[in-house]
Amino acid sequence: MTSNFFDRLGDRIERVDSVVSVGLDADPSRIPEHLQEEELPQWAFNRRIIDATHEHAACYKPNAAFYEHADGWRSLRETIAYAHGKDVPVLLDAKRADIGNTTRQYAKLLDHVDAVTVNPYMGRDSLQPFLDREDKGVFVLCRTSNPGGADLQDLELASGEAVYERVAALAELWNQHGNVGLVVGATAPEELEAIREQVPELPFLVPGVGAQGGDAEAAVEFGLAEGVGLVNSSRGIIFAGEGETFDRAAGQAARRLKRRLNQFR
């Protein structure tokens, strides 16, 4: 097995012919009723989602926010092990970073998963323990998909560049081990194109297609670097259906998104 995350991800993308990241944002309030009686409803839900979608998944992206409660951590651990059992990499969407002493603890997340998302606001030292993990992927938030993404990220610096452009430039500097990618939302296609031009070699994680209505074509056209990158949908896949057959609907939604994205690859 190659020791570089993006090489492994590239292999996975080739094997399943898919750049779909299936977002495991298992909102407890939306888990179908028949699973609510299980000891760990989120895990019961995710297991069925993984069974139904793994053939179409380049990776799974659980967002840590949905698991930060006592049973949540157990569900997350089971979910990660199960995804790995199906040979699918796991990107933990944690958006972490802090002062060195603290971030060294955060970086231990990478003992359990293949990649994480991190927040660049506190600068290089806050990311260093993540960046030092040569075999893992580190996706730096660059231009996010939410409406407020413009509030700070689009601000123009004295140098004339936008804050998100500065982040992209820094990420290139931080990429000494070839383990850094960027997070750029599909809801900002112009910025997506500009950032791709600026940093042709960095793979992107592009969230925001599906529930947030982002641009799937731009996500593929600008998100991939030499064919490697991820386009994430969470609610659009895992909550595509309801009730007893929710997992079938999720499988169909994942396959549909894969095919749609593949038209642009």
Active site residue ranges: 95
Q: Which residue's CB is nearer to ligand OMP, number 48 or number 143?
A: 143
23 lies in the site for ligand OMP, by CB under 6 A: yes
CB-based contacts of 43, cutoff 8 Å, min separation 6: 74, 75, 78, 79
Instruction: Report the alpha-carbon distance of residue 180 to residue 190 in Å, rounded.
Output: 22
79 lies in the site for ligand OMP, by CB under 6 A: no
Q: Which residue's CB is nearer to ligand OMP, number 131 or number 219?
A: 219
117 lies in the site for ligand OMP, by CB under 6 A: yes
Binder among 203, 210, 229, 251 for ligand OMP (CB under 6 A): 210
List b or e across 143-171, with b for residues whose CB sees 16 or more CB atoms inside 10 angstroms: bbbeeebbeebeeeeeeeebbbbbbbebb
Q: Which residue's CB is nearer to ligand OMP, number 72 or number 210?
A: 210
Element (H, E) at 5: helix 5-16
Applying CB under 6 A, the span of 69-77, 218-226, 228-236, 248-256 interacting with ligand OMP comes to: 228-236
Binding mask 158-177 for ligand OMP (x = CB under 6 A): --------------------
211 lies in the site for ligand OMP, by CB under 6 A: yes
From the CB of 143, what's the least distance to ligand OMP, in Å?
Answer: 8
Applying CB under 6 A, the span of 119-127, 219-227, 232-240, 248-256 interacting with ligand OMP comes to: 232-240
Are residues 143 and 149 in contact, defined by beta-carbon separation less than 8 angstroms? yes
Burial class (CB in 10 A: 0-12, 13-18, 19+), 119: middle
235 lies in the site for ligand OMP, by CB under 6 A: yes
Q: Which residue's CB is nearer to ligand OMP, number 32 or number 236?
A: 236
Which has the closest alpha carbon to 47: 94, 91, 5, 88? Answer: 88
Instruction: Report the alpha-carbon distance of residue 168 to residue 183 in Å, rounded.
Output: 10
Binder among 32, 41, 129, 185 for ligand OMP (CB under 6 A): 185
252 lies in the site for ligand OMP, by CB under 6 A: no
List b or e across 224-261, with b for residues whose CB sees 16 or more CB atoms inside 10 angstroms: bbeebbbbbbbebbbbbbeeeebbebbbbbbbebbeeb
Q: Which residue's CB is nearer to ligand OMP, number 147 or number 160?
A: 147
From the CB of 213, what's the least distance to ligand OMP, in Å?
Answer: 9
Binder among 10, 13, 19, 25 for ligand OMP (CB under 6 A): 25
Residues that bind ligand OMP (CB under 6 A): 23, 25, 63, 93, 117, 144-146, 183, 185, 207-208, 210-212, 232-236
